[in-house]
């Protein structure tokens, strides 16, 4: 069994436990609509920060404690959260927070803490299998959610369409993540307005920067595009240039002992708006 299937297998059991312990009916009346626009933060048409001063592509800075490929990335992330988010607020257009517990050591509580520390839109990054998780994410402050397209899976278009619709009803945008041409076709058929291209193969967790370049021709110009995974140097970002609206970076930032310096170095010579 590959890593992705292990994660999904565990996630199904974990979500079922959470639903039993705290049914949706017990908190749905506490869920309010998001008022922060994730999509517009990435395109620069509107933002709660002086985003016109940020470089292109825009940055989604990610909060994650660990990953299956890198192990523990930032052991003291919760103690450092205030400082990390304060730095992210200066350089990023949005903040992603991984909430998956077992494999990434994430949490919904961390998402809530980040949301309370930033004026930026927040993305809840998890493996969404049930609409219950959308309501959970919004309850804890998510302004957008990650949905993963699996182009060859039966019923994927219908599932994604439903999740996008529920997220929209809660004022949240959906970042629909893809890795293959089939994934992109599925995402578009489901009505995705923001498509993520993951340079990492979730089955093997290997990085290939050509993934973004190879999928770009299949995505219409009116779709917001986010390139994800593996970005660690200015050259990595320059490969993409202004062909995408944003890049999502987590490990490359959180392994740094000097975040402001790392931000400056990453976007050196990258074209400005």
Asked if 96 is an active-site residue, the reply is no
Asked if 193 is an active-site residue, the reply is no
Catalytic residue among 34, 62, 100, 136: 62
Catalytic residue among 174, 198, 199, 227: 198
Asked if 136 is an active-site residue, the reply is no
Catalytic residue among 34, 65, 227, 228: 228
Asked if 158 is an active-site residue, the reply is no
Asked if 206 is an active-site residue, the reply is no
Catalytic residue among 37, 96, 100, 125: 125
Catalytic residue among 67, 113, 177, 199: 177
Catalytic residue among 64, 100, 113, 199: 64
The 3-class SS string of the chain reads CCHHHHHHHHHHHHHHHHHHHCCHHHCHHHCCCCCCCHHHHHHCCCCCCCHHHCECCEEEEEECCEECCCEECCCCCCCCHHHHHHHHHHHCCEEEEECCCCCCCCCHHHHHHHHHHCCCCEEEECCCCCHHHHHHHHHCCCCEEEEECCCCCCCHHHHHHHHHHHHHHCCCEEEEEECCHHHHHHHHHCCCCEEEEECECCCCCCECCHHHHHHHHHCCCCCEEEEECCCCCHHHHHCCHHHCCEEEECHHHHCCCCHHHHHHHHCCCCCEC
Catalytic residue among 37, 96, 174, 229: 229
Asked if 64 is an active-site residue, the reply is yes
| Active site residues per annotation | 62, 64, 125, 177, 198, 228-229
């Amino acid at each position: 069994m590959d890593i992705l299937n292990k994660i999904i297998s565990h996630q199904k059991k974990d979500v079922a436990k959470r639903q039993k312990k705290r049914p949706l009916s017990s908190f749905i009346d506490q869920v309010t609509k998001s008022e922060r626009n994730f999509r517009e933060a990435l395109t620069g048409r509107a933002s709660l920060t002086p985003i016109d001063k940020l470089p292109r592509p825009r940055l989604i800075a990610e909060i994650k404690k660990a990953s299956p490929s890198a192990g523990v990335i930032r052991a003291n992330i919760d103690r450092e959260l205030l400082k990390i988010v304060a730095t992210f607020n200066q350089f990023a257009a949005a903040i992603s927070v991984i909430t998956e517990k077992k494999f990434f050591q994430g949490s919904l509580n961390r998402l809530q803490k980040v949301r309370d520390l930033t004026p930026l839109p927040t993305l809840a990054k998890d493996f969404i299998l049930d609409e219950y998780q959308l309501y959970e994410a919004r309850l804890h402050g998510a302004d957008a959610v990650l949905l993963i397209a699996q182009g060859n899976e039966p019923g994927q278009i219908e599932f994604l369409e439903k999740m996008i619709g529920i997220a929209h009803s809660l004022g949240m945008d959906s970042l629909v993540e893809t890795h293959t041409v089939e994934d992109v076709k599925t995402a578009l058929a489901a009505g995705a307005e923001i498509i993520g291209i993951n340079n990492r193969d979730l089955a093997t967790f290997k990085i290939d920067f050509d993934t973004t370049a190879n999928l770009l021709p299949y995505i219409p110009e009116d779709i917001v595009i986010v390139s994800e995974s593996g970005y660690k140097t200015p050259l990595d970002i320059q490969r993409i240039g202004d062909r995408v609206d944003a890049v999502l970076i987590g490990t490359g930032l959180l392994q740094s002992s000097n975040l402001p310096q790392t931000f400056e170095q990453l976007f050196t010579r990258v074209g400005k708006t």
